[in-house]
Amino acid sequence: NKQAKWWQKAVIYQIYPRSFYDSNADGIGDLQGIIQKLPYLQELGIDAIWLSPVFRSPQDDNGYDISDYQDIDPIFGKLEDMDELIAEAKKRGIRIIMDLVLNHSSDEHPWFLEAKKSKDNPYHDFYVWRDGVEGKYPNDLKAAFCGPAWEWVPECGQYYLHQFSVKQPDLNWENPALRKAIYDMINWWIDRGVGGFRLDVIDLIGKDTDNCVMAEGPMLHPFIREMSSNTFQRADLVTVGEAWSATPERAFLYSNPDGSELSMVFQFEHMVLDQQPGKEKWDLAPFPFVEFKKVFTKWQQSLYQKGWNSLFLDNHDLPRAVSHFGNDEKYRVESAKMLATMIHGMQGTPYIYQGEELGMTNVRFDIEDYRDIELLNMYKERMENGYEEQDIMRSIYAKGRDNARTPMQWDESANAGFTAGTPWIRCNPNYTVINAQEELVDQDSIFHYYKKLIALRKKENVLVDGWYEPVMEEDEDVFAYTRENDTEKLLVLCNFKEQPQTRILPEEWKNGEVLISNYPDSSAGGNLRPFEAMMIKVR
């Protein structure tokens, strides 16, 4: 039997640093703040922290616009703070995963400042340029944050490509000198002791610009393999690529067990089902529950022994899991635990997004209180295009990225105990009832439930290596599946609805041992209360 890799048994916690904990009262979370909260994370039992970008950045897109990959932004601290975080986390058995944004840099990166001076500048070719005349774009490509993906630079008489904001010019991976500079930078971080990397929109780096192919371009996998062999393979790291376009077939390459590319990718098929096909995430559609289950089945079964899944229901770009898929009012606690059971029972590496372990919820602000560039650009564009304001706001409440970016709710004191100053974004007013302090003392809290789930993953091998088989896949209310290896078999049973359910379950389950459940007296009798969930060991 092949030995599992450390990251196949790990649970990873994502921190969005500016919203986690502010140590110096400037209203922005920082590295010293994370260091102070390490005991909390150790208590939860996680193995690694994925840190959203803390590199030097003008913060146009909250750090996903990097102007120096080898320094820390002063709002977060200094390089020494980063070294201290790596060392302090290590003492607690926690590795630090950094978030590399390699598809684009900031327009304030020294490379771009040089590149835009002239066509002959040695750095010009670090970015993607096309000749043209002002006012006539090279093609119709649109930027993710609204408007055309091209920006005119008079000094060069050329346009540069930016798939995200104007301040995020795309890097030109075709240029070997750029690739070498990136590999050197990655190795510099590996030598500083990081535990791995999350690779932002990695599916975009192999683009074929002239044919408007951005995702999964022809050079994508050759570039990843070259990067991996020059960097990641030097150490026992975890690497996770963000790949919105991934299919299982692609994931075989990305997460090939031979280690030639990455450890795993984030794919988003389960996250985009409740939007209108071919439209934007703001164009809401009903949530197709049966389809949702089938997407999980497809990924669970296809990647079995051929790759590795990332398991998640939220992150810094997505709505809060309990608001998105559960019930964030009457059954908030039950449904948050139910969702956790569903995702932590699967094969792959589970990711917990900060505050998910508390059941933090979406927020409803007035437009002035939002901060996210994507959301604000969309609001402006749709207002100009004559959309109804209330429809725009409904989309923002459902899908806006700031839902996930309100400050971590530590306690019931002012500003949720996140800062002694004025927070960069308002807190969710429900922090007086939803906060870490309350949940740490309450043994039945969502926090303690996550703690148990994490501990269970360390104990039950079948959670790591078992085959996934769906049960009652066409059922409109219940999400059920089994996990099975040579010696063990587990049943995961989740009621996704607030209505009680009765199902006839196979005899062999009825005498199983309830390993964990979100009601004090669950049994596999086939009666499920609102959002009831359990894991049962059948043998």
Q: Which is nearer to Ca ion, 165 or 419 (CB)?
A: 419
The CB-of-163 to ligand TEU minimum distance in angstroms stands at 8
Q: Which of ligand TEU, Ca ion, none does residue 293 bind (CB under 5 to 8 Å by kind)?
A: none
61 contacts ligand TEU (rule: CB under 6 A): yes
Nearest to 534 by CA among 504, 510, 506, 498: 510
Q: 200 catalytic, yes or no?
A: yes
H/E stretch holding 161 reads: strand 158-161
The CB-of-317 to ligand TEU minimum distance in angstroms stands at 4
Q: How far apart, in Å, do the first and last CA atoms of the chain sit?
A: 20
CB < 8 Å & 24+ apart, contacts of 473-477: 473/290, 473/293, 473/294, 473/297, 474/290, 475/290, 475/503, 476/289, 476/290, 477/289, 477/501
Q: 114 catalytic, yes or no?
A: no
Q: Which of 5, 6, 9, 26 binds Ca ion (CB under 5 A)?
A: 26
401 contacts ligand TEU (rule: CB under 6 A): yes
Q: Which of ligand TEU, Ca ion, none does residue 28 bind (CB under 5 to 8 Å by kind)?
A: Ca ion
Region at 8 (left for phi over 0; alpha for psi -120 to 50; beta for the rest): alpha
Q: Which of 47, 73, 107, 200 is catalytic?
A: 200
The CB-of-372 to ligand TEU minimum distance in angstroms stands at 9
69 contacts ligand TEU (rule: CB under 6 A): no
353 near 312, Cβ under 8 Å? Answer: yes
Nearest to 350 by CA among 1, 46, 20, 126: 46
Cα separation, 235 vs 219, in Å, equals: 25
The CB-of-168 to ligand TEU minimum distance in angstroms stands at 6
Q: Which amino acid is at 447?
A: F
Q: Which is nearer to ligand TEU, 54 or 436 (CB)?
A: 54
Size of interface with ligand TEU, in residues (CB under 6 A): 14
Q: Which of 46, 86, 144, 240 binds ligand TEU (CB under 6 A)?
A: 144
Tokens of 232: 């990641």
Q: Which is nearer to ligand TEU, 197 or 479 (CB)?
A: 197
Q: Which amino acid is at 110?
A: P
Q: Which is nearer to Ca ion, 416 or 471 (CB)?
A: 416
394 near 284, Cβ under 8 Å? Answer: yes
Q: Which of 152, 244, 289, 397 binds ligand TEU (CB under 6 A)?
A: 244
101 contacts ligand TEU (rule: CB under 6 A): yes
Q: Which is nearer to ligand TEU, 23 or 103 (CB)?
A: 103
The CB-of-61 to ligand TEU minimum distance in angstroms stands at 5
36 contacts Ca ion (rule: CB under 5 A): no
Q: Which of 201, 303, 363, 492 binds ligand TEU (CB under 6 A)?
A: 201
Tokens of 153: 């630079």
Q: Which of 60, 65, 203, 242 is catalytic?
A: 242
H/E stretch holding 131 reads: strand 129-131
Q: Which amino acid is at 469?
A: E
Instruction: Give 468's Cβ-side CA count (13 Å radius).
Output: 28
Q: Which is nearer to ligand TEU, 138 or 169 (CB)?
A: 169
363 near 26, Cβ under 8 Å? Answer: no
97 contacts ligand TEU (rule: CB under 6 A): no
**Residues 6+ positions from 413 with CB-CB distance below 8 Å:** none
- Computed on alpha carbons and rounded to an integer, the radius of gyration of the chain in Å comes to 23
The CB-of-402 to ligand TEU minimum distance in angstroms stands at 11
Binding mask 19-48 for ligand TEU (x = CB under 6 A): ------------------------------
Interface residue list for Ca ion (CB under 5 A)? 22, 24, 26, 28, 30
Interface residue list for ligand TEU (CB under 6 A)? 61, 64, 101, 144, 164, 200-201, 242, 244, 281, 316-317, 374, 401
Which active-site residues does the annotation give? 200, 242
